[in-house]
Structure 1
């Protein structure tokens, strides 16, 4: 009778219904991380942790005009933190998972919440629900946003089919369930700019708001949508065949787009790209068994033409990661993470010097109600 156990397992792995319809695709050959431009350098070993141990997954980071930073946590809290990490204050709780945010001139925040949609946090701590569906399709995993000078919000829905708990299924399916959308708070209207994206993630506006960029995480690609000039309305690839999974992207206002890589590409996932059947089998396994990128830091700097001109990494003991956002402020890179317990910071000058330093002592503080 023992033969029934392996037989049952085979039947389960081959025939149990799953909610994915994998699409065959052929990933490009991944760049080498052992030699050439992406050779390991351990530059992010020197990341200092601020509010160390006092945060839970500060995924995205934004600054206000006074230099105070803001982030959202895995428990739904939205907090503001002094640039040195010594003071942390709780502003409110979305009841979901804030994934991207931007500070408005009046001190309020626009928030992309993975579970609640597009939200507005007033200065009195109350929330407005701005968008929960676009063009009749509910938001499934609202991910990131950027606000232009007119107050319009460009935001991403990573997958209208798979919510936060099932996000890895979207990678296995590779079905193009992501969207880039636009919301105008003045008119309260929303529209889809781009559809059929592969896990639409980070969003950033380019110089003079001529274009908007959106990361396609599981396509290792950044896509550009032009909004001004002769190319207005056109779509093109800004960067492709990245060495990892691009998460959030930010613009420093001058010459650099910073891209957080959740982790390096997974060779097995790439090999399974052309084989939909095997990805269906893997989808029947517990989600905790699937690769998650590990704990490491990986950051790219791109120029205005989409060329990768800087790369910083570290996957050794105590690495800050996985890095899901990186924002430049006053010569310092601030790093966010999906599940680390601090915000990271490191001098950009130190990174560019090529000299790897030990991290400064962590700054410990408690977020006040």
Structure 2
């Protein structure tokens, strides 16, 4: 307790967390999810469902292809050994993935950069390595991506100070070096579009005061967006995250004191929460990194759990704003 802290947190404030009512009314819908491929996959943070194939990135640096119940390694960007804290930067960690219009899998690896994978052969093309600076700064935490209709790729570099292993330091310190980067596949060039640290670019607020820390965002089958919550914050209940916001000294002491509460929300195109899925005990789905919504099935990802979760919407009574069944 007397040793110097590795972070220099700044004070900030948060509004009172939203009450869990209306579209946020607690339920047990996430507890209806089933665990699949338990102890066969580790930390499947991001997923893409395409026909009979389900692609995922795992904590051991692999991109896997699950086809008809069989798991095979499709690609790997780093090198062995893997599995330890020290090995993670060279092993790699795929954190975000999307299919482009030509059927190639575009993958953001937290340590190694942006890649293009041929899903038929497993061949890998490096689009932009983390060793190559963007606007004079090397990427430290490449996180997630989106692909526009014109083929432009937009991806996040969550921090230029902390890597994925130290993501809790990044959160607890509240440092603001994260940025949004544009990659042009035609010219093979990058551009820093928005950076909080340099106040570059402009932002428009879509939704604020979420009931937790948001992770990946993916389209929902109803035309909105699913947002996974890494941890929940609830009005009328004690929130360590909110309590520590204005107390930098406390954040120097915190490591893993956030209680488990599984939560995912659906937001419509106007930025309004229209549905939420809960596991109040965190026993089945303690946290959600991403939701892949495909053909009436929700695949739930996690950065650290040894399984994928699958929820059939037709078997769920997930209450929506205007209907009782989803």
Q: Does 1:20 align with 2:7?
A: yes
Note if contact 2:66-2:72 (Cα within 8 Å) is conserved in structure 1.
Answer: yes
Partner of 2:15, secondary structure, is: coil
Q: Does 1:251 align with 2:219?
A: yes
Q: Which residue is equivalent to 2:35?
A: 49
Note if contact 1:140-1:157 (Cα within 8 Å) is conserved in structure 2.
Answer: yes
Tell me how far apart the structure 1 counterparts of residues 76 and 318 of structure 2 sit (CA, whole Å): 40
Partner of 1:262, secondary structure, is: strand
Q: Which residue is equivalent to 2:124?
A: 127
Q: Which residue is equivalent to 1:367?
A: none
Higher Cα radius of gyration: 1
Question: Would you say how many aligned residue pairs link Structure 1 and Structure 2?
Answer: 296
- Which runs of 5 or more residues in structure 1 are unaligned? 1-8, 198-232, 355-369
Q: Which residue is equivalent to 1:188?
A: 188
Tell me how far apart the structure 2 counterparts of residues 318 and 173 of structure 1 sit (CA, whole Å): 29
Tell me how far apart the structure 1 counterparts of residues 190 and 221 of structure 2 sit (CA, whole Å): 26
Larger mean CA deviation between 316-325 and 174-183 belongs to 316-325
Partner of 2:214, secondary structure, is: strand
Give 1 or 2: higher strand fraction. 1
Tell me how far apart the structure 1 counterparts of residues 173 and 283 of structure 2 sit (CA, whole Å): 33
Q: Which residue is equivalent to 1:290?
A: 256
1:292/1:113 CA distance change after superposition, 3 Å: farther
1:335/1:234 CA distance change after superposition, 3 Å: same
Note if contact 2:145-2:153 (Cα within 8 Å) is conserved in structure 1.
Answer: yes
Q: Which residue is equivalent to 1:326?
A: 291
Note if contact 1:159-1:179 (Cα within 8 Å) is conserved in structure 2.
Answer: yes
> How far did 1:348 drift?
2.0
Note if contact 2:94-2:109 (Cα within 8 Å) is conserved in structure 1.
Answer: yes
Partner of 1:341, secondary structure, is: coil
1:45/1:254 CA distance change after superposition, 3 Å: closer
> How far did 1:326 drift?
0.5
Tell me how far apart the structure 1 counterparts of residues 318 and 113 of structure 2 sit (CA, whole Å): 41
Partner of 1:138, secondary structure, is: coil
Q: Does 1:69 align with 2:51?
A: no
Partner of 1:236, secondary structure, is: coil
1:20/1:327 CA distance change after superposition, 3 Å: same
Q: Does 1:299 align with 2:264?
A: yes
Q: Which residue is equivalent to 2:87?
A: none
Q: Does 1:172 align with 2:158?
A: no
> How far did 1:126 drift?
3.4
Tell me how far apart the structure 1 counterparts of residues 176 and 115 of structure 2 sit (CA, whole Å): 25
Partner of 1:323, secondary structure, is: coil
Note if contact 1:293-1:322 (Cα within 8 Å) is conserved in structure 2.
Answer: no
Note if contact 1:300-1:312 (Cα within 8 Å) is conserved in structure 2.
Answer: yes
Deviations 1:214-261 (A, max 9, x none): xxxxxxxxxxxxxxxxxxx85211111011110010113652111111
1:327/1:311 CA distance change after superposition, 3 Å: same
Matches within 5 A, 1:204-283: 235-252=203-220, 255-265=223-233, 267-279=239-251, 281-282=252-253
Larger mean CA deviation between 180-189 and 144-153 belongs to 144-153
Q: Which residue is equivalent to 2:152?
A: 152
Note if contact 2:216-2:228 (Cα within 8 Å) is conserved in structure 1.
Answer: yes
Give 1 or 2: higher helix fraction. 1
> How far did 1:105 drift?
4.3
In the superposition, the TM-score normalised over structure 1's length comes to 0.74
- Deviating beyond 4 angstroms after TM superposition, the runs of 4 or more aligned structure 1 residues are none
Q: CA RMSD in A?
A: 2.4
Q: Which residue is equivalent to 1:230?
A: none
Tell me how far apart the structure 2 counterparts of residues 28 and 60 of structure 1 sit (CA, whole Å): 30
Tell me how far apart the structure 2 counterparts of residues 269 and 254 of structure 1 sit (CA, whole Å): 31
Tell me how far apart the structure 1 counterparts of residues 221 and 189 of structure 2 sit (CA, whole Å): 28
1:120/1:353 CA distance change after superposition, 3 Å: closer
Note if contact 1:100-1:111 (Cα within 8 Å) is conserved in structure 2.
Answer: yes
Q: Which residue is equivalent to 1:30?
A: 17
